[in-house]
Amino acid sequence: MSSIINQRAPFWRDIYQSFSRMVGNQPTLRHFFEPISQWITGAYHAELSKCRLMSLDSTSADTISLTLKVPKRWKGFQAGQHVLVTLQHNGRYVTRPFSISSSESLWKIHGNIQITCKVKLDGQLTPQLVSLTNQDTVFISAAQGQFLISRTSDDVMLICAGSGITPMRAYLQSLKDQYAAGGNSRASIVLLYRFRGEQNAAFIEEMRVLASTLPNFKLILSDSRIDEKMDWSSLPATTKQTSIYVCGPSGFMQQAKIALAETNVSPEQIHQEYFGPMVMNKDPSEQSADTATSQVEANYVRDGMAYSITTNTETNLLESAIDSGVEPPYGCRIGVCFQCVCNKVSGQIKDLRTGELSGTGKEQIQLCVSAPVTDITVEY
Amino acid sequence: MKLTTQQFDALAKDLDNIKSNVKNQLGEADARYIRRVLFWQRISEISGRILLVLGFITPWLWAVGVLLLALAKIIDNMEIGHNVLHGQYDWMNDPVLHSKRYEWDIACDAGSWKRTHNFEHHTYTNIIGKDRDFGYGLLRLSDDFRWRVRNLWQIFTYFMLSALFQWGVSYHELAGERVFFGRKKQKRHSQVTDSELKRAFFSKGGRQLFKDYIFFPLISGPMFLWVFAGNWLANLIRNLWTSTVIFCGHFTEDVHTFSEKDCENESQGQWYYRQMLGSSDFTGSKALHILTGHLSCQIEHHLFPDVPARHYPDMAKEVRLVAQKYGIPYNSGSFASQYWTVLKRIVKFSFPIKAQPLNSAVDAP
């Protein structure tokens, strides 16, 4: 549940939760007082940190960077992690994950973080981000994700495409700050950055500057408008000690893994960050053709135990769960009774009633009227 | 009176239209509305509890405190709890207002309520043998039920049930599953075990009792008994109010009942038709609508259970026209007159005389 509760030791947390449930029928007193806090402060969310927008800059032709002042209570992050960004739009909380693109020292010294995102005009969240003005409220979750770029191993290879640059940039900036503060430099860092035209490549100038100031930093740029096919042989040789980090659209990550496997890199060396770059939203006409009969993997998680089921994009999640012996709570099976509402952790679904596609992040869905469009994980 | 298959389909289309018109315009205004209700609910609960203690200055403050606390509980149960648990505000994606997470200020566990009310009652509305909300297994409200001697004094049973309504609601599922008494029903599909039911019943009920009768009285020190009595009275007022509202929605004189056989392979249109005949509305001011959680528009609620309730009064005008178009009875009247027919119905079926079959399933689809 919320990060606020988890800060307490288990014993006191249990006492506090029982007390809140007894007095206010809410998991914490924050939830109980939320309507009043909202009235006083204008915007308040019991489970998220309230940030103020400090500035909104365009970092390339199609990406923007938001600088956010985070509250003191926020627990911090490590380069490579992401936050769930939540905005209120037309009465709804809309949430999407974004990697933090700024250095750790920006947060430590100024209490600010930056997120960088690609603007999709047909998306649900990014058009709202663009229309924000300074001092507006943006909610963020605690930092999360296991894409932690190693600080101990000798060699690091970073491979990214498009907005996959963001976690890499957070890492490189943190490293630069460390280096400027007199920290030891690394044996070798390689960054492969692939993009579609230089005007769309966020932070490209910054990377060039870093390449000339950071010792042992090798920058490989690849423009898909010039080199249509990625030339993987341009990657320098790796050793068994090299940790490799890959972030980008799913097609690119697949290619990278295949190319790396050919150079005898073992899978344990590869770390990847994938937050469904909404493939499905890109071209609705294309998508109906190639998702018609796709097989997907559905993971049902309860109390930490996962049940994995192979299903398809036409069957509702409730039916495939019940057929495979996973029994989430359910009732009417027609979307009326709301007993089968579950937490979707990741993946994208289609509402079978409207054909509407969901986001790829964490949200609540009705299993009985939802069919998976991508691989999906659901807590029930 | 019977509609043809085509008419049922046309009926479904008309009602679906009314629904999608409202659903398409949900947004900022609805979010603002429910948060404002939530805000005033919190304010009246907190000030009510404080005034109960301030009763040592003058008992009048205590009396106002009782009314405010009762008001807070009524709004929490009706306009917020009942409607949120129906998933009316799930689209907001707000953890405090989501059907999965909401828990209310009543003895009944929200999960149990969603099974018995959202699923059983709303899916099988007024189907005798399937919808145990019809008479709650206590009252004989149609000739579909065999008469028993205890029905003779069922008007008193009804008053008892009203006074203890929150416990009736909370025990409802355990009674149906025969958790403590009675023989288990064969072939009954149950998603929860008896021990889960018991645990939810005792833990939620216990929490509520502890809060109102131990915790708040204790922290009031010398005002222990005043606070204890104030909480008891507030709960009583809430119980009587919610029970009265709900009885006016389903047990007025002309509400129809249905048999399981009638409803096999029911189409969407037939389902809508049954919802319209199985419920009744009553008229009143905006404040009355809010205090009833808009269950004053029970017909609209049964047709569109997951549409935010503040839209029901407007939808009612359109639904009434649709009812006229297809010649479907539309049961509406003032609060007082509807309640009077509820009392008449309870008394009428206290006796073993078979009433004329005006309400029974003969004219159902």
> DSSP secondary structure string, B173-194?
HHHHTTSSSSPPPTT---SS-H
- Provide, as residue numbers in chain A, all residues whose Cβ is less than 8 Å from the Cβ of B38: 34-35
First to last CA, chain A: 14
Mean residue pLDDT across chain B: 91
Distance CA A302, CA B326 (A): 48
- Provide, as residue numbers in chain B, all residues whose Cβ is less than 8 Å from the Cβ of A338: 85-87, 90, 99-100, 114, 118, 306
Between the CA of residue A280 and those of A123, A165, A342, B318, B344, what are the distances in Å?
Answer: 11, 21, 22, 38, 59
Q: Tell me the average pLDDT across B79-107.
A: 90
Chain A nearest CA to B284, separation (Å): 28
Cβ–Cβ < 8 Å for A258, A159: no
Distance CA A63, CA A317 (A): 35
Beta-carbon pairs below 8 A across chains A and B:
104
Token pair 């050793």 is found at: A239
Chain A nearest CA to B108, separation (Å): 12
Q: Would you call A125 an interface residue with chain B, using a CB distance cutoff of 8 Å?
A: no
Model confidence over B121-149: pLDDT tens digits? 998 999 998 888 998 889 999 988 889 99
Q: Which of A180-194, A235-249, B11-25, B61-75 has the lowest mean pLDDT?
A: A180-194
CB atoms within 10 A of CB B20: 12
The answer to whether the Cβ–Cβ distance between A33 and B42 falls below 8 Å is: yes
Between the CA of residue B84 and those of A345, B92, B95, B105, B270, what are the distances in Å?
Answer: 23, 11, 11, 13, 26
Chain B nearest CA to A259, separation (Å): 41
Q: Which residues between 337 and 356 in chain A have a beta carbon less than 8 angstroms from any beta carbon of chain B?
A: 337-339, 341-343
Distance CA A107, CA A103 (A): 7
Model pLDDT, residue A302: 64
Model confidence over B329-357: pLDDT tens digits? 999 999 999 999 999 999 999 998 765 55
CB atoms within 10 A of CB A184: 7
The answer to whether the Cβ–Cβ distance between A364 and B93 falls below 8 Å is: yes
Q: What is the DSSP string of A232-259?
A: GGGSPP--TT-EEEEES-HHHHHHHHHH
- Provide, as residue numbers in chain A, all residues whose Cβ is less than 8 Å from the Cβ of B94: 93
Model pLDDT, residue B47: 98
- Has residue B50 got a pLDDT over 50? yes
The answer to whether the Cβ–Cβ distance between B103 and A26 falls below 8 Å is: yes
- Provide, as residue numbers in chain A, all residues whose Cβ is less than 8 Å from the Cβ of B35: 35, 38
Cβ–Cβ < 8 Å for A220, A201: no
Spatial CB neighbours of B335, under 8 Å, sequence gap ≥ 6:
B248, B282, B283, B284, B288, B296
Q: Would you call B23 an interface residue with chain A, using a CB distance cutoff of 8 Å?
A: no
Chain A nearest CA to B9, separation (Å): 18
User: Nearest-CA neighbor of B51 among B25, B72, B20, B27?
Assistant: B72
User: Nearest-CA neighbor of A120 among A84, A96, A102, A148?
Assistant: A96
Cβ–Cβ < 8 Å for A68, A51: yes
Model pLDDT, residue B187: 60
Give percent of chain B above pLDDT 90: 74
Cβ–Cβ < 8 Å for A66, A138: yes
Model confidence over B354-363: pLDDT tens digits? 655 544 444 4
Nearest by CB: B94 against A36, A93, A331 = A93
Q: What is the DSSP string of B220-275?
A: TGGGHHHHHHHHHHHHHHHHHHHHHHHHHHH-STT---B-TGGGTT--HHHHHHHH
Domains in chain A (CATH in brackets) are: 1-42 (no CATH), 155-273 (3.40.50.80), 289-379 (3.10.20.30)
Cβ–Cβ < 8 Å for B77, B106: yes
Q: At B40, which helix (H) or strand (E)?
A: helix B28-53
Q: Would you call B209 an interface residue with chain A, using a CB distance cutoff of 8 Å?
A: no
Distance CA B50, CA B110 (A): 27
Nearest by CB: A341 against B42, B95, B100 = B100
Model pLDDT, residue A370: 92
Nearest by CB: B39 against A26, A27, A36 = A36
Model pLDDT, residue A153: 59
User: Nearest-CA neighbor of A276 among A165, A359, A365?
Assistant: A359
Model confidence over B206-260: pLDDT tens digits? 999 999 999 999 999 999 999 999 999 999 999 999 999 999 999 998 899 999 8
User: A interface mutation test: which of B94, B203, B215 has the most A CBs within 10 A?
Assistant: B94
Model pLDDT, residue A305: 64
Token pair 């409730």 is found at: A318
Q: Would you call B19 an interface residue with chain A, using a CB distance cutoff of 8 Å?
A: no
Q: Which residues between 244 and 273 in chain B have a beta carbon less than 8 angstroms from any beta carbon of chain A?
A: none
Helix (H, G, I), strand (E, B) or coil at A69: strand
Instruction: Identify the segments of chain A with pLDDT beneath 70.
Output: 1-8, 152-153, 184-187, 274-293, 302-305, 331-334, 336-337
Q: Would you call B159 an interface residue with chain A, using a CB distance cutoff of 8 Å?
A: no
Model confidence over A247-291: pLDDT tens digits? 988 778 888 888 888 888 888 888 887 654 333 333 333 334 444
Chain B nearest CA to A23, separation (Å): 6
Q: Are strands A363-366 and A376-379 parallel, antiparallel or unpaired?
A: unpaired
Distance CA B296, CA B273 (A): 19
User: Nearest-CA neighbor of A189 among A163, A164, A161, A160?
Assistant: A160
Q: Kindly provide the ipTM of the predicted complex, given to two decimals.
A: 0.90
The answer to whether the Cβ–Cβ distance between A35 and B115 falls below 8 Å is: no
Tokens of B244: 């009265």
Q: At B10, which helix (H) or strand (E)?
A: helix B5-24
Nearest by CB: B42 against A35, A91, A363 = A35
Chain B nearest CA to A365, separation (Å): 9
CB atoms within 10 A of CB B267: 14
Q: Tell me the average pLDDT across B68-83.
A: 97
Model pLDDT, residue B114: 87
